Every structure is written in structure tokens, then in C-alpha cells.
Amino acid sequence: MIYLLLFLEFLKIGLFAIGGGLSTLPFLYQLSGKYGWFSTSELTNMIAISESTPGPLGANMATYVGYHTAGIGGSFFANLGLVLPSLIIVIIICQFLSRFNENTKVQNAFNGLRPAVVGLITAVAISLIRIAIFTGSNSDLLGALDIKALVLFAIMLPMIFIFKRHPVFYIAIAAVFGIICKL
Amino acid sequence: MQLRQLLEIIWTFMKIGTLTFGGGYSMLPMLHRETVENQHWLDENKLADYFALSQCLPGLIAVNMAVLIGYQQKKTAGAVAAIFGVIFPSFVVILIIAMLLSNYIHIAAVASAFAGIRVAVASLVIYSVYGMFKKGVKDWFTFAIFVVALLLMLLFDVSPILVIIGAAVVGILIGQKRAYR
């Protein structure tokens, strides 16, 4: 039964996450709240692992979540659900490829869809910041603020915008900072 | 002969899957080297077309690319072979990490490292979103959709599926209205 649930949940992600990469993030974020299969900070860890290991984030999450809920079989069924919509839809699209691209309805739909995806991912980004620089569930916002994490954030963000290095570079720096400063 | 070609597809996409870190856009250079330069399965223009299409279709970009190229080579069997190839390396790596991580996460230094990493990830996501924002939000209408989607997800916990379907419908309606003018 858990196999079927994993399969169906990741089928939904495979069907509705458009634009690749981070577009799976809003779905995964909601999944963590819905079933408690993983926590939001585990999701952040997973993004870091995904950026530092081979393969797409969505597939990595499917493997990770599947393993934690139902072992290797869970990983398999989560991945199966994730890729099945791609397989079917892309093969159908291949039959009338040129017409699909030029269709104005399709183009209009994407003009509306793209900013919505950006909005959804921005919402996740805000949650990720909250998790990264606030500790625990302290209702007093200022009291829960983790000063060391805030300092790291204030250094990290401009660095990324200025230097444009590979994500692994920043992840490594942040890990070292975390260990040294006992974050 | 048939089997040999399928194995070749699997092997090519395994190389792409292994050497692509972070998925999505970062796979383009590897894809180019393996499928255009080494295998001559397609030319630059077709690769660019496929890549643009992969971003518009549901699912992971890497998987969509695998299906498009695999299908072109050997129909459905080729598509399945390509998906298997591109996913398999990450499947193994993540499985190993998932098995090990739960044993080590309780060590204070590992927990501290991940606390730092979470800050880096939040910053990296902001950077990516900024790039997407510049591409997708071009006028007041797209900005309005952006804000509504953001608030629906952040404050009201609306399902992303509904937001995406709604935004596509709004896009079609507005597009039609503009065409009539």
C-alpha cells in the first residue's frame, strides 16, 4: 500500500512539475507537511546533497524519500511514478512536435504558468530562509534568530551573485563554517 | 543488433547522469558532448529545440531529454533505456547516502555542517529564483500572477497543482483577450 501511495504522490509531481530542477520543490515541500515522510530541514539537506551529487533533484528526492518510507522498493516506485508521465507525454508530443510548439494557446498557457512557478518556488525559498536562520519553533521571532547563521547568510548571498561559482563550492564553504562556528 | 543499440543508449545516458551535478541546466554541456559530438544522434539545433521543449513539458528536464533522444533513436524501448540510464547513477548514489546519513547526522560536527549547508542552499535557491524571475516576469500581468502564486503557497497552503492549472488557464484567457484587441 505504501508503494502505491509513493507511486501516486510522485506521479503527481512528475505530471505537474514543469520547468525542471527547482520546480519539484513546491510539491516536495507540501509532501513533507502532508505525510511527515521527511522534515523541511531534511528537504534542505537533500537539496544540498542533490547539488553535490549526480542526477536531478526530483529523482534524488524520489530515491531518498522512497528509501526512508519503504526501503529500496519505495525508492523504485517513487522514481517510477516520477518518470512515467514524462515518458507518456513526451512520446505523445513527439507525434506532432512542430504543431505543439507553434500553438498560440500553448504559448499563452506558458506565459501564465512560468511566473506562477517562480512564485511557488519563491514561497519555498522564503521557508528555506526561515529554517536556515531561525532556530526551533520559538514564537518570539527575534529570540529565535540564529545570529551565526544570519552572518553566514549575509556573506553567502552576495558571494553567489558576484562570483557565480559551482553550487558545490558554496556548500563546502558553508559546511566548514558550520563546523568551525558550531552552528 | 537491437540489444547493442539499446545498451549504447543506456551507457551514453549513464555517463550523462553520472557527470551531471544538480540536474537541469547543468546537464547541457554533457548532453552536447555525448549525443552530438560522440554519437552524432542529433545536431546542435535539434539539441537546443529538444532542450527548450523539455523545459516546457511536465517532469524533470533530464528525463524529458532522455525520452526525446531515446525515442528518436529506438522508439519506446529507446526512451525507456535512456530514462534508466540517466536515473540509475543517482539512484545508487542517493541510496548509499540515505543509508549512511541517518547513522552520521547525530554527530555534532555533521549536524553543524548541515546547519551551515542549509544557509548555503537557501542562498542558492534565491539566486536560481532570481534568474527565473527575470525570464518569466516581464510585465504587470505576469508580475500579478507571480504575487498571487507566491501568496497562495505561502499563506494559504494551496496545492501547487491548482496554482499551476489556474495560472495556465489565466494565461490562455488573457492571451485571447489581447489577440482580439
Domain boundary among A117, A133, A149: A133
* Interchain pair B23, A20: CB under 8 A: yes
Query: Given this model, what pLDDT does residue B8 score?
Result: 95
Q: Please indicate, yes or no, whether residues A24 and A54 belong to a single structural domain of this protein.
A: yes
Is residue B21 classed as helix, strand or coil in its secondary structure? strand
CA dihedral A34, A10, B28, B74 (to 10 degrees): 180
A139 touches chain B (CB under 8 A): no
Q: Which residue of B has its CA nearest to A28?
A: B160
ipTM over 0.85 threshold:
no
* Interchain pair A112, B174: CB under 8 A: yes
Q: Please indicate, yes or no, whether residues A160 and A146 belong to a single structural domain of this protein.
A: yes
**Residue A133 pLDDT > 90:** no
Q: Please indicate, yes or no, whether residues A155 and A80 belong to a single structural domain of this protein.
A: no
Strands (E), A27-153: none
Structural domain count of chain A: 2
* Interchain pair B118, A41: CB under 8 A: yes
Chain B interface, mutation test: which of A27, A32, A83, A151, most B Cβ atoms within 10 Å?
A: A83
pLDDT digits (tens, 9 = 90+) for A58-106: 898 899 889 988 999 999 999 999 999 999 998 888 877 666 667 787 7
- Domain of A11 in residue numbering reads as 2-133
Q: Please indicate, yes or no, whether residues A124 and A156 belong to a single structural domain of this protein.
A: no
Q: Please indicate, yes or no, whether residues A74 and A128 belong to a single structural domain of this protein.
A: yes
Q: Please indicate, yes or no, whether residues A128 and A149 belong to a single structural domain of this protein.
A: no
Other CB atoms within 10 Å distance of the CB of residue A153:
20
| Low-confidence spans in chain B with pLDDT less than 70 | 1, 21-26, 181
Confidence class of residue A17 from pLDDT cuts 50, 70 and 90?
Answer: confident
* Interchain pair B118, A48: CB under 8 A: yes
B29 touches chain A (CB under 8 A): no
Q: Please indicate, yes or no, whether residues A74 and A111 belong to a single structural domain of this protein.
A: yes
Other CB atoms within 10 Å distance of the CB of residue A97:
14
Q: Grid coordinates in use for B15?
A: 555517463
pLDDT digits (tens, 9 = 90+) for A103-130: 787 778 878 888 888 888 888 888 888 8
* % pLDDT > 70, chain A: 91
Smallest CA–CA distance, residue B11 to chain A, in Å, is 15
Residues 31-50 of B with CB under 8 A from A: none
B107 touches chain A (CB under 8 A): no
Domain boundary among A106, A133, A160: A133
Among the partner-chain residues B59, B115, B142, the one whose CB lies closest to the CB of A111 is B142
Q: Which residue of A has its CA nearest to B13?
A: A55
Q: Please indicate, yes or no, whether residues A76 and A93 belong to a single structural domain of this protein.
A: yes
Q: Please indicate, yes or no, whether residues A40 and A60 belong to a single structural domain of this protein.
A: yes
Cβ–Cβ < 8 Å for A116, A104? no
Give the count of Cβ contacts less than 8 A between chain A and B.
Answer: 382
Other CB atoms within 10 Å distance of the CB of residue A4:
10
